Every structure is written in structure tokens, then in C-alpha cells.
Structure 1
Amino acid sequence: MKSIKHDKSTKVPILDVPILDVFDKIIVYIYRKDIPLTEIEDAKAIIDAADKYGVDSIKCAAEMYYVNNFHITTENVADLLYYADAKNCLKLKEAAMKYLTLHTDEVVASDAFSSLCDSKHIMKEIVLSMST
């Protein structure tokens, strides 16, 4: 069996991560298990990149930062549910569902609710979460 030689000087471009700083934070986390987050936007960008590249541990860490620092409102709860569902972020989804349960009347009366009604999948999850 032949061994494959790799040229360590070859650069691999990563074009689909919009912020080089995000990729740097992923690398730091891989080696130090520390995620230096200070902004919600950074957490979301890290969730996106970690989801794409399958780095679940940093995705979970960024998700927890997001859950602990994102202010959920009637206007943004629908977007948060769609995002959490798309990225399979269970803690984000749980936080959004909790908000929805505690503020049902306001959410149902909002424009955000009509967009939630477009997704049978998410509406089913909402109904099931409210029935338990």
C-alpha cells in the first residue's frame, strides 16, 4: 500500500465562511475548548459554520451562548424557531418554545405567528410542546 504525501505548505481556501474570525474561533475551540464569544452575531456565524463542517462541540457551545444572551421577543420568536429547526439547535428551539408558551396571546396576535402557520412541521411541534 502506497503512503500519500501531503504538502503542508498547500493552502486550503475556505470561501463559504463569511468571517475569517469565525473560522479562527473554531480552530481555537478545537485546540483549547474555549470559545471567546462577545456578540450574538458571532455565535450565529459559528453555529452556521460548525453546522456545515460538523463541529458539534463548538456548535453546542455557541448555541448555549446564544440561548443565554439572545433576547427573544414576539417579533423574533418565529425567526428563531425556523433557525433553530434548520440548524437542529435543540436548546434554541426549547428557549423559543418556552417563550411562545409564556407569551401565547401576544405571539398569536402578531405578524410572526402567521409565518409560523406556514410550517406544518413547526406548528405540530408547537402544539405538542404546549400539550405537555
Structure 2
Amino acid sequence: MTTSTNGSNNGGDRLDLLVDQIGRLTEQIAQTSVNIDKLGEKIDKLGENIDSGFAQTSANIDKLGEKIDRGFSELKAIAQAQQQDINRLVEITDRQAQTVERQAQTVDRQAQTVDRLALMLERVLNDRVSSN
């Protein structure tokens, strides 16, 4: 009977050990499941942060694009205004050149008139001297 009791006791110890090991494995599985859930939450949060970062970066890129577009529009408007100023200056310069040309023609006519008057005065003076 000792042998049978010993054998059955040994089997009971093994069974207790097996139950104990199954209990520890169950605890480890439960803890692993909790850890997996926590990691899943962290991954979800990281995904949200990444999405938020991408959204913010995209918004910043859009704002920068708008600023660049506004800058180009402003530069275009400035360039157009400067071109209009240049065109006005060209027109004014052309008009001034025409005015200078007309003034030169007037001075030339006046010089011819002075020459004619000088000749007439010379004739008159010569006629007076001859008549005296």
C-alpha cells in the first residue's frame, strides 16, 4: 500500500505542479493580453499623432503655398505698375522729344528771321548812306 500511496501521491504532486504551471501560464497569457491591449492603444495613439502631424504639416504647406501665391500676385501687380510707369515715361519722353524738335524748328525760323531783318537793316542803312 505504501507503494500505491506513494505512486498516487507522486501523481497528485505532478497534477498540482501541472495545475500550478497552467495557472502561471494563464496569468502570463492574461498579462500578455493586457500588454497587447496597452500596445494596441499606444499604436492607435501614435497613429493619431502621425495623422495629426500629417494634417498639420499639410495645413502648413497649404498656408505656405498661399503665401507664395500671394507673393507672386503682389510681385506681378508691382511689375505691372512699374511697366505702366515705364510706358508713361516713354510717352512723356517722346512728347518731350517732339517738343524739343518743334522748339528747334522755331529757333531755326527765328534765326532766319533775324538774318532777314539784319539784311533789311543793312540795306536800309546802305540806302541812307547812299542818299546822303
TM range (shorter): under 0.3
Bigger RCO (CA 8 Å, 6+ sep): 1
So what's the TM-score if we normalise by structure 1? 0.19
TM-score, normalised with respect to structure 2: 0.19
